[in-house]
Structure 1
Amino acid sequence: MARSREIARTAAEGATDVLHPLITVTRGLRRLAAAGRAKWSATPKERRGPALFLAAACAVVVALLPYGPLLALISLMGAAAWHGRERTVVRTGPDEAETERLKALYEALVPHFSVPEDPAPLFTHGGEWGKAFSDFAFDGDGRPVRLRIAYPAYFPDGEAASRARVERLLQAKSGRGREYLFDWDEEGNQLLMRVLPALPTSIAAQRFVTAPGETVLGFTDDDAVQRTMPVWEGDERRDAPPVVWRTGPRSTEPHLLIVGQPGSGATSLLRSIALQALEHGDILIVDGSGTGEYACLTGRCGVLGVECGPAGALTSLEWAAHETERRLIAANRARQAGRPAPSDTKRPLWILLDRPGVLGHLAAADGRVDPQELLQVPLRHGRAAHVTVVVAEQFDGADALTEAVRTHTRARVVLGPATRDEAEAVLGRAPHTTPTPSVPPGRGYARLGTGPVLRLQVPATPDPYDDATSDAHRQAVLELLPEHSTAAGAPEMHRIAGRRHETTG
């Protein structure tokens, strides 16, 4: 057990100190030197000269005294031995407060892990908690951060409702406001509860080390994925575990749905995806909120358009549907003729739709078609045509999503505070952790197809034109923006449409 190993290590270090006093003295000298450097650094520059003169005078006086250097050396070694001693208190078990906490947890679990027919119950009122609990650890406030629980074999651990009741109880008794991971070992009849550390929020938008067709949605726990990539976290370079979403003709999750609360970071995730997509393809943005969150992308190379109104959104999405059909027809004709597909049909095209429910409401008021209806062709045939659709919506507007959007977006992201039921409704599976009521922007869960549910922290990608954006994050986003388009005449989308007519003609 971890506690046993810690006790053994502490005892070994104490024995080493007894057998080797030189180690204690050396450690004390190192600590005294560090304290001296800190004191010298904290001394104002105008006082360093007099302090240095006083120290030199004391050294001269000590050197002139009888046995002065020997006494000074003895004093220094004594001080080093005192400061170098180990102050670790060897604990052989939980203290009184921690024991009471474990007893309370044990008593609370008795109704869940016992039945009257059991002749030798593991959980019983007033029983021994040491038989059921092991591998426990506590934080500085005395709250458990790790606990392994052995439960009877007849407990229905295969039922989600039964496990959820136990998890809610443990979360309430161990301390709310933290995120717990519950690992059920159904074969061994054991439950491991761990408190997960908060995911770092200091990773900003940057050039990630990815291959074409790979998009970084955010970062997760170290043991959740088998891949790491180098990232800049402030001024430091380190490896972080990413959540990588793969698109393209061979992807099983070619389209993405993002659902979150207001201010949860869905728009930041869309901006992050757009900046990564512009490195190898073109993007079309339809902003249903109309707040100008994507103004920094207007007129940039590779940005086909940034539409905010219903009329512009319908025109743009209608063009995207025709462009998808054109790509399919051109690629099919090339295959029939034994030629490779034209290069303009293989350049990735991204359709980013933010808040489609607002646009649908405005379109219905004007007697127009819902813009989501125009997404059916890109959603159904986009994978073969190198067309990717990303839809972001809030929880209160999720009911307005069409069946085509729900069916073809197999990659899902939930951002912001959400209950287990809300997360399960979007992801198709409840997360293994307990969501907390307060999370930073960009914090949530991701699930790619039928894969596991992963914790997610979106890289900070704020609007660089927002006055509330920090200078570091503003500069990070501006460095990733492509140059302004210098093409004159019709917009980029219309020029591509012209090439479409020439190709099909």
Structure 2
Amino acid sequence: MPPAGSSPDRRREALRAAGLTAVLRTPAALAALLARGAGRLASAARRWWRHTPRERRGPVLLTTAACLLALWLTPYGPLLGAVALAGTAAWQGRGRDGEGDGGGPGEAERARLQTLYEALVPHLALAGDPHPRPLYSHDGDWRRAFTGFAFTEEGRLARLRLRYPPHFGDGEPECRARLERLLRARAGRGREYRFHWDEEAGELELTALAPLPSGIRVQRFVTAPSETVLGFTDLHAVRRTVPVVAEGGERRDLPPVVWRTGPRSTEPHLLALGQAGSGTTTLLRSVALQALRNGEVLVVDGGGGGEYAFLAGRGRVVAVEATAAGALSSLEWVVRETERRLLAANRSRQTGRDVPEDVCRPLWVLVDRPSVLSHLARSEGQRDPQDLLQVPLRYGRAVRISVALADQFEGAAALTETVRAYTRARVVLGDVTPGQVRAVLGEAPSTTAPPEVPPGRGYVRLGSGPVLRLQVPAAPDPYDAEASESQRLAVMELLPEPAAAGRRAGP
């Protein structure tokens, strides 16, 4: 017996080990264990074969056949292979996820699973089902419907994989949302959940997610010159991590959401929408501080609140405009600069020379609250500043000109069709509904909203990729007295030196 003072995880592992030892003592139980493990291995092989592309199946089968041939020609190879296969089957056949001998769910866990099963019956049962043993019925057993589950040390449901009947409308968003709301309420509020629908197998997996880190400040991230860290997301969603320094000097490796720009990018321009105070301005400040490492930045502050005044007069900052007239002048310069770069790049390619350095230098055009600028320009009888963005949005990618816009949901209707069409990198911040996320990103998120939405929290989608959770790094205005001292110092450390006297930094 495990010691009484050990942790629940250690007690469960000890019970599983004791149960496996007891099973190995009886031939019938051993045969059942091997059969169960072989079935699981066969199921895993079928799932792999079903999800593997056709062009990868042939090389894998050829490699497997070569390994089996080498094993057959090796002395005692077949015997060793049989022993290894039996050991793998026995290990796979043991109780997992709270199942099996000696590791079954406790009384409270079984009651919770049965209660959840009974709550699913009205939604998944079919009236007059001719099947003799329906998957969901009022006198049914949850063991046939729930194929996998896991609980936390506090007894809360951490993961659940369930089967649903074929008649369930898994292709209808309303049916999905109804079932997700029920599972979220039964699994426990106050947490975020991810729902993964496997329509081919008829299974739904619910996973409780840990909250994203909200104390990361903007810093020099380890990225390529054409990469910008928009924020951080879940570890399973991306394939890389970057080292960061958290609050208190703690060093961590976090998975970033990397936005790639340049001539080879498929989403060279960005649009961020959110509510007031959701962090869209913070996102633009973070992008500007990262862009100043290798390029030039032009900022148009449509809100006129001085949120970008700390960038004025700094090196590689072309201009910081906060008026309608200044915005028009700056954007007209951006149009001429885009045309100049296009002509210079075309002339260089025709003559076989290298493209000039001033054409290859990245230029970032950051526009905050363009809807307000458009309203001010129309009221003064001037041209809409968004019309001037057509040239850099359409042709800027070829000459390393990227446009990033941020606005609030109230002004989203004032955005022009050109802005909507060419900003394929989208960010939604704040306490938003799945319908708002779908309207901006084109797809609803697979995760639920957090119980409390911190600043800079939202969702991101790059092009036609998946919708990911996002936490924007903290980049406050260093002149804001309400910001923390460590975050303000982090912003000041990333600022370039003031521009040299007499240098023409603006348009």
TM norm structure 1:
0.78
Structure 1 position 296, deviation (Å): 1.2
Separation (CA, whole Å) in 2 of partners of 1:256 and 1:323: 20
Q: Given the alignment of the two structures, is residue 306 of structure 1 paired with residue 320 of structure 2, yes or no?
A: yes
Partner of 2:256: 242
**Any stretches of 5+ residues in structure 1 without a counterpart?**
16-89, 495-505
The corresponding residue for 2:491 is 477
Matches within 5 A, 1:308-457: 308-436=322-450, 438-457=452-471
Once the 2 structures are TM-superposed, how far is the Cα of residue 187 of structure 1 from its aligned partner? 2.5
Residue 274 of structure 2: which of 253, 256, 260 is its match? 260
Return the alpha-carbon distance in structure 1 between the equivalents of residues 158 and 453 of structure 2.
Answer: 19
Number of corresponding residues: 416
Given the superposition, is the C-alpha separation of residues 411 and 377 from structure 1 closer, same or farther in structure 2, using an over 3 Å criterion?
same
Secondary structure of the structure 1 residue equivalent to 2:160? strand
The correspondence of residues 134-283 of structure 1 with structure 2, limited to 5 A, is 134-139=147-152, 142-234=155-247, 235-283=249-297
2:13 paired residue among 3, 9, 12: 9
The aligned residue for residue 103 of structure 1 is 114
Q: How far apart, CA to CA, are the structure 1 residues paired with 2:384 and 2:152?
A: 53
Matched residues in 1 for 2:479 and 2:18: separation?
A: 58
Please tell me whether residue 115 in structure 1 is matched to residue 114 in structure 2. Answer: no
Aligned-pair RMSD on alpha carbons? 2.1
Q: CA deviation at 1:118?
A: 3.9
Q: Which runs of 5+ in 2 are unaligned?
A: 1-7, 20-100
- In the alignment, is the contact (CA less than 8 A) between 2:18 and 2:102 conserved in 1? no
User: Secondary structure in 2 aligned to 1:110?
Assistant: helix
Q: Retained in 2: the 8 A contact 1:7–1:92? A: no
Between the aligned partners of 2:313 and 2:130, the Cα distance in structure 1 is 73
Which amino acid counterpart does residue 445 of structure 2 have in structure 1? P
Using a 3 Å threshold, how does the CA distance of structure 1 residues 6 and 186 change in structure 2: closer, same or farther? Answer: farther
Paired with 2:391 and 2:122, the residues of 1 have a C-alpha distance of: 54
Compute the TM-score of the two structures, normalised by the length of structure 2.
0.78
Identify which range, 232-241 or 440-449, moves more after superposition. Answer: 232-241
For 2:386, the aligned partner's letter is Q
> Could you say what secondary structure the match of 2:197 adopts?
strand
1:74-113 aligned within 5 A: 92-113=103-124
The whole-number CA distance in structure 2 between the counterparts of 1:9 and 1:94 is 13
Mapped partners of 1:193, 1:404: distance in 2:
39
| Residues 305-349 of structure 1: CA deviation (Å, up to 9, x unaligned) | 111111111111111111101111111122222222221111101
Per-residue deviation at 1:205?
A: 1.0
How many Å apart are 1:142 and its aligned residue? 4.6
Q: Which residue of 1 aligns with 2:94?
A: none
Residue 292 of structure 1 pairs with residue 292 of structure 2: no
- The 8 Å contact of residues 194 and 207 in structure 2, kept in 1 or not, is answered as yes
Whether 1:129 and 2:142 are equivalent positions in the alignment is: yes
Given that 2:9 and 2:153 are in contact with CA atoms closer than 8 Å, whether structure 1 keeps it comes out as: no
Q: 1:126: how far off?
A: 3.2
Post-superposition shift, 1:100? 3.7
Q: Given that residues 122 and 152 in structure 1 are in contact (C-alpha distance below 8 angstroms), is that contact kept between their aligned partners in structure 2?
A: yes
For residue 270 of structure 1, give the secondary structure of its aligned residue in structure 2.
helix
CA–CA separation in structure 2 for the residues paired with 1:13 and 1:465: 60
Distance in 1 separating the partners of 2:130 and 2:307: 62
For residue 124 of structure 1, give the secondary structure of its aligned residue in structure 2.
Answer: coil
Matches of 2:102 and 2:296 in 1, distance apart? 62
Q: Deviations over 1:371-411 (max 9, x none)?
A: 11110000000101211000001111111111001000011
- In the TM superposition, residue 175 of structure 1 has moved relative to its aligned partner by 2.5
Per-residue Cα deviation, 1:72-91 (whole angstroms, up to 9, x for no partner): xxxxxxxxxxxxxxxxxx98
1:451 is displaced (CA, Å) by 0.9
> Is the alpha carbon distance of 1:91 and 1:204 closer, same or farther for their aligned partners in structure 2, counting shifts above 3 Å?
farther
**Aligned partners of 2:12 and 2:305: how far apart in 1?**
60
Please give the alpha-carbon distance, in whole angstroms, between the structure 2 residues aligned to 1:291 and 1:238: 34
C-alpha displacement of 1:437: 5.3
Instruction: Compute the displacement of 1:96 (Å).
Output: 4.6
Residues 12 and 103 in structure 2, CA contact (< 8 A), matched pair in contact too: no
> Which residue identity is paired with 1:103?
Q
Q: Which amino acid aligns with 1:128?
A: D
How far apart, CA to CA, are the structure 1 residues paired with 2:362 and 2:141? Answer: 63
| Aligned counterparts of 1:214 and 1:5: Cα–Cα separation in 2 | 41
Q: Which amino acid aligns with 1:439?
A: V
CA-CA distance at 1:265 after TM superposition: 1.1
Is contact 1:417-1:437 (8 Å) kept? no
- Point out the structure with max Rg over C-alpha: 1
